[in-house]
Every structure is written in C-alpha cells, then in structure tokens.
Chain A
Amino acid sequence: MSAAVPQGRRPHHLTAGRIGVYAFLVTAALFFMLPLWIMVVTSLKPMEEIRLGNILALPAAMTFEAWTKAWSSACTGLECNGISVGFWNSVRILIPSVILSIIAGAINGYALSFWRVKGANVMFGVLLLGAFIPYQVFLYPLVRIFSLTGIYNSLTCIVLVHVIFGLPTMTLLFRNYYAGLPIELFKAARIDGGGFWSIFLRVILPMSTPILVVATILQVTGIWNDFIFGLTFAGRENLPMTVQLNNIVNSTQGERAYNVDMAATMLAALVPLVVYFVSGRWFVRGIAAGAVKG
C-alpha cells in the first residue's frame, strides 16, 4: 500500500499496491458479511439440509417455512405464537418512547441553550455523568419505585424508562444543535415579545429538522435494540422482540430448529437494518453527535 497516495488522481492501471488495498478491503468485507449471509441461507434451508450440508452453501431446496414459523408459531417459553408478538410489543414500546424522549430532549436542549436558568448547568452536568454510569446501578431502586407506584411491568413503565435513560443523549444532542444557532434569532424573537413556548414552537422547532432526523434514527435503533430494560420493566405481556428472540433461541427444549432461530433473528434485525440502509450517512452523524461531541 506504500504506492497508494490518497487524495491523488485515480491511477489508470493497477499496481501491486492497489491490488493489495482491494484485497484487504474485500477480505474484510467478506468477514463482515459472513454472519448475515449465514443467517439468510440458514433461514431458507430445511433442517435436514442444515444437519448434513455446508453452513455457507445456498439452500438446495429453498423454503420460507422457517420464516412463517418464526413469525407466527415459534415457541418463546410456554407460548407458541411466534416472534410477531414481540414485534408488535416492540412497536407499541417504540412509538411513544421515541416521541416522548425526543420532545423531552428538544425542550431541555432549548431551555439550556437559550434561557439562563439557575442551576441548569449543574443539572446538565449530572445528567451527562449519568449517561456513563452502568444501568445496573439504577435498576433495583427503580424497580422498587415503580412497584410502589403500581406501574411496574407495564407499557407505561417501559416507556418511562426509555424516556428517562434517553434524556442525557437527547438533551445533549439538542443542546449542542441549538447552541450552534445564531443567538440574534432568539434575541429578535424576544424583542418581538415572544415567550418561552411561543419562541420554541414558532422559531426554534421549525429550524430543528436535521437534528430531529438524527434523534429519530438514534432513538429508533437504540430502543428497538434494547434488551435489558425490556427484560426488567416491560412485564411478561409486553416483552420486546429482542427478549423474545433470546427466549426462542436460548430456551428451546429438545432439538433446536436453527432455520427458525435464524429467521427470527433476521426478523428482529429488520427494523434497524432498514433504518440503517435508508438513513445512510445520517446514521453515523447521529451516533457520533449523540454520544460525545461537544
């Protein structure tokens, strides 16, 4: 690769260095694709073929049976209604959690960057520090609090938990975005007599589209992929897809149906994958901005 110079003109003929570059990238790409490939081909094979055949090979007798089974009749513990139950639970958890956590983050970010409220920076500092503290430190007392208030193991409970633990990232995201907006805009709105909410709704929010997109991507993938909160707070009736997937795969009695397992895994990965492929570069921007950028 010593012959390769970035930013230069694309070479017209392949040198040994160029071949090396591509060889490395293609090998790496194959490694990254491998698990996805295996999941897809396994999910399309009947069990006999899985037992005897090559794990990498395309299915000889392709069948979607495993997908139907995974969706509607795979067993998660005692019940055998498939992972569709988990899918819809995840949807019911996802929608209110994403909306509420983004609203909370936007309001916080707005209040923090434009209004000097006493002690707000201290609160923000604690919140940020809280983002790095392992969830295990909060979980047990939180369970007790929710039990005492009677909402433990409910949809409300899991949504609330997602909003609470989404606060640091969402607040940081919006605060930083709003800090980059020209302050003159805000001052002009103040002179025109705008109050806290009217400036937010009429001036700030209409300018927030890019950061709303980033926040949505971040929250949709994050909440959809959550396991620990769903397991702890959602209750048996509302277990999200990740928890049900784990139950299907890891609590099976007798011989495991690998094709059904892989179909269920693909189904559980589908929503974040679609978000990822549709959002492209926004996805990276979201992770980088949300997590640490100041």
Chain B
Amino acid sequence: MDTISIRAPSMPSGGTKTQRRVKTRLPAAIALLPTALIVLVVYIGCMLWTVRLSFTSSTLLPKLDWVGLAQYSRLFANDRFLTSASNIIIFGTLFISGCLIIGFLLAVFIDQNVRGEGLFRTIFLYPYAMSFVVTGVAWQWFLNPALGLQKLVRDMGFESFTFDWLVNQRMAIYTIVIAGLWHGAGLTMAILLAGLRGVDKDLWKAARVDGIPTWRVYTSVVLPLLRPMIVTAVVLLTTGVVKLYDLVVAMTLGGPGIATEVPAKFVMDHLFERNNIGLGTAAATIMLITVVSILAPWVYVRYVRPQGRHA
C-alpha cells in the first residue's frame, strides 16, 4: 500500500514548483511515517496474519500449512463457541436497547429543570469511569446469593426469595447485562442530554401553545431530532459489546460451566491457554467479519466519503 509516497527530488534543488512543494511536505510525510508503518504492520499485517492462521492446523505453535475451512467447521460444531455467539447476541441486544431506553429516560427526566441536576448527572455517569474489572467484582459481590442481595431480602422477612442468577446456568448472562447497564447507561444519558439541550426552545413554546402533551413531543418530535446522538451512542455501545471480555472474566469467568462465555474470551482462551491457535484465530476472524459487516458502511459514510478539511 502506498500510504505515503514521496518521490525523492531527482533534480538539483531550485527545480520545478511541484518539486519544491514535495520538498516542503517531506517533514510532514516523515512525521506520518511511524503511524503509516504501524497501520501497515499491525492494523493490516497482523489482521491478515490472523486470518491466514485460521486456515492452518496450528496448535501450540503457528504452522503455515493449509487445511481449508477445517477450523471453521470445528468452530461451528463447538458448544463453547456457539454459546459464546448466542451470549453476545443476547448481551448486545439487551445492553444496547437497555442503555438507550434508560439513558433516554434519565436524560429526559434530568431535562425537566430539576434541582441538583449536576449531582444527578455525576451519579449516573460515574460508573463509566471505572474499569470493567471493578464493575465485575462489585456486582459479583452484590449478586452472590450467599451474602448479597438474596440474603438481604431474605433477612428482611421474605424467606423464600430467590435471586441466584449469578450461579444459575440459564440466567447468569443476564447478570452480566445488569452490570453492563450500570456501567454504560450514564454515558448514553450524557450523550442524549447534550442532544436535548440542543433542541430549539421555540419548539417547546409552540408545542405548549398547540396543547400537545409533553410525552408526545418527546416521542414524535424530539426523538427524531436526536438521531445523530442516538447513532453516536449506538456506535459507542456496539464497540463496547464487541470488546466484552474483562467484565465476564472478573464477574463469572465464563461460568457457571460455560454459561457466560463470550467470543472475545473464547479467542483469548484458545490463543493463550488452550494452545489452539488455529481455532482461536478462526474465531477471531469470525469476530472480524461480523464487525466489519456491521460497521464498514457507517465508517464509509461518516469519514471516508467527505474528504478534505472540515469533513
């Protein structure tokens, strides 16, 4: 890829105008060179290398043989991977829609001229500053049935109360969703609140004159106006979903059993612990394909098409 191609001036200095321009831009090209190298070697090179390895029978050490799609057919017959895939769909759907709904509600309620607005905003957003490990550990402690929420409610007199999702195979993934929502809802609130503050004040006056109920204005007029902010939030949340790893490791370690395994963890485990590079890179490639097919159109429209400054 010729990301930065600067033709060396072949004539002595004081040549044509083009050559002078090339010369003055040389320092800029040199400054961009390290990044260009990283793009080539890491972002493109490592990616292709991973894809290539997924077609090999590599186990502990990388081999460069060719086994076609063998790793992929093993992958899609692998219970752990299929669970991971369905978990990330469950998590992604509930996490993104949950963050949007909670975030929107919080933003709308905060926008009602309330006292202590700054305090509420600070409280809703602080979890986002904390790491997923901290989030996972905190929720693991609160939701553990023996000493946490379940015991709390039972001690209050509801002897038969059961909340054992954390150790329940079928429900454990939802505890990850709860922790994720706690971590990310405030961010959505902050983004949408910024959008609400940008809504024209005359709109509210007009709506009041026409006697339109407030909730109606929010759902029919304001919500469509917030589209750019919603897109921003969805993109941010989606990258969070794809990266989901630390939270699971800290909270459940993929358990009970394999109930909360996720693709990122599947890849990490197979690459660095289970010594199955072929299978791990095949799973990584599936992640890559999924993400690119979701995000490529968006990145293209947003960044690549409008070229130049002020893009």
Q: Measuring CB to CB, which residues of chain A are less than 8 angstroms from any residue of chain B?
A: 1-8, 10, 18, 21-22, 24-25, 28-29, 31-36, 38-39, 42, 50-51, 54-56, 104, 107-108, 110-123, 125-142, 144-145, 164, 167, 171, 179, 183, 195-197, 221, 224-228, 232, 242-243, 245-246, 249-250, 258, 261-262, 265, 268-269, 272-273, 275-277, 280, 283-284, 287-288, 291-294
Q: Judging by beta carbons under 8 Å apart, are B50 and A137 in contact?
A: yes
Check: B64 CB closer than 8 A to any chain A CB: no
Q: Which residues of A contact B264 (CB under 8 A)?
A: 134-136
| A140 to B182 Cα, complex, angstroms | 32
Among A28, A228, A232, point to the contact of B106 (Cβ < 8 A): A28
Which of B50, B129, B147 has the most CB atoms of chain A within a 10 A radius of its CB? B129
**Chain B binding surface, main DSSP class:** helix
Among A24, A51, A140, A265, point to the contact of B280 (Cβ < 8 A): A140
Q: Judging by beta carbons under 8 Å apart, are A167 and B35 in contact?
A: yes
CB distance from B111 to the nearest CB of A (A): 5
Also in contact, A35 and B142, with CB within 8 A (given A227-B249, A294-B302): yes
Of chain A, the residue at the smallest CB distance from B51 is A137
Q: Judging by beta carbons under 8 Å apart, are B134 and A107 in contact?
A: no
Also in contact, A139 and B43, with CB within 8 A (given A119-B3, A134-B264): no
CB distance from B226 to the nearest CB of A (A): 14
**Chain A binding surface, main DSSP class:** helix
Among A5, A21, A36, A127, point to the contact of B39 (Cβ < 8 A): A127
Of chain B, the residue at the smallest CB distance from A248 is B137
Q: Judging by beta carbons under 8 Å apart, are B130 and A273 in contact?
A: yes
**Can you add 12 more A-B contacts, CB < 8 Å, to A55-B148, A127-B35?**
A5-B208, A8-B204, A25-B110, A42-B141, A123-B4, A127-B43, A133-B292, A136-B267, A139-B268, A258-B147, A261-B141, A284-B191
CB distance from A194 to the nearest CB of B (A): 10
Q: Measuring CB to CB, which residues of chain B are less than 8 angstroms from any residue of chain A?
A: 1-6, 24-25, 27-29, 31-32, 34-36, 38-39, 41-47, 49-50, 53, 62, 102, 105-106, 109-114, 120, 122-135, 137-142, 147-149, 151-152, 155, 182, 186-187, 190-191, 194, 196, 201, 204, 208, 213-215, 232, 235-236, 239, 242-243, 245-246, 249-250, 253, 263-264, 267-268, 271-272, 277, 280-281, 283-285, 287-288, 291-292, 295-296, 299, 302-304, 306-307, 309-311
Q: Judging by beta carbons under 8 Å apart, are B124 and A28 in contact?
A: yes
Complex A-B, nearest 5 residue pairs according to Cβ-Cβ distance, in ascending order: A225-B131, A115-B28, A196-B27, A276-B129, A141-B46
Q: Judging by beta carbons under 8 Å apart, are A130 and B271 in contact?
A: no
Q: Judging by beta carbons under 8 Å apart, are A6 and B50 in contact?
A: no
Q: List 16 A–B pairs whose Cβ atoms lie within 8 Å, in order of A's numbering.
A: A29-B120, A108-B35, A118-B5, A122-B1, A123-B36, A128-B303, A136-B283, A138-B43, A140-B46, A141-B53, A164-B38, A179-B311, A250-B249, A276-B126, A277-B122, A280-B122
CB distance from A134 to the nearest CB of B (A): 5
CB distance from B311 to the nearest CB of A (A): 7
| A101 to B109 Cα, complex, angstroms | 38
| A160 to B63 Cα, complex, angstroms | 27
Q: Judging by beta carbons under 8 Å apart, are B132 and A138 in contact?
A: no
Also in contact, A284 and B131, with CB within 8 A (given A117-B25, A120-B3, A130-B43): no
Q: Judging by beta carbons under 8 Å apart, are A140 and B53 in contact?
A: yes
Of chain A, the residue at the smallest CB distance from B110 is A25
Q: Judging by beta carbons under 8 Å apart, are B182 and A35 in contact?
A: yes
Q: Judging by beta carbons under 8 Å apart, are A133 and B296 in contact?
A: no
Which of B35, B250, B306 has the most CB atoms of chain A within a 10 A radius of its CB? B35
Q: Judging by beta carbons under 8 Å apart, are B127 and A32 in contact?
A: yes
